Amino acid sequence: MFTIEHEFDCTVVTLVDDGPAPLQEDIVINAFEECITVEQYDARLDEMRKVTLSMAQLRDLSAALNLPEGSYSLTPSSID
């Protein structure tokens, strides 16, 4: 399950782990114009953990999800 909310400066997507146990904490993705942040609560440390991806890293991740194992470099013509 997931939710989508549009804030003033970003779009917030929350991914809820509603599968079989053991369940993971929700993941919150904030999509800003210049970057993407991914946050998840860490119960061991009792704090939110955040990772920031540049738009280029997000593009590469999106491409990687559909490719077989290997090393790749995207070129402008391969992005279209």
> Residue 5: inside a domain, yes or no?
yes
> Residue 10: inside a domain, yes or no?
yes
- 4-51 pLDDT, tens digit per residue, is 999 999 999 999 998 888 899 999 999 999 999 999 999 999 999 999
> Residue 34: inside a domain, yes or no?
yes
What domain range includes position 26? 1-55
Q: Is the pTM of this model over 0.85?
A: no
> Residue 15: inside a domain, yes or no?
yes
> Residue 77: inside a domain, yes or no?
no
> 36: how many CB neighbours lie within 10 A of its CB?
19
12 DSSP β-pair partners: 5, 30
> Residue 25: inside a domain, yes or no?
yes
Name the percent of the chain in helix, strand, coil, to the closest 5: 20, 40, 45
Q: What is the structure's pLDDT at 23?
A: 92
Whether the upstream peptide bond of residue 22 has omega within 30° of 0, thus cis, is yes
Q: How many percent of the chain have pLDDT more than 70? A: 95
Please tell me what DSSP assigns to residue 26: P
Number of domains the chain contains: 1
End-to-end alpha-carbon separation of the chain, Å?
30
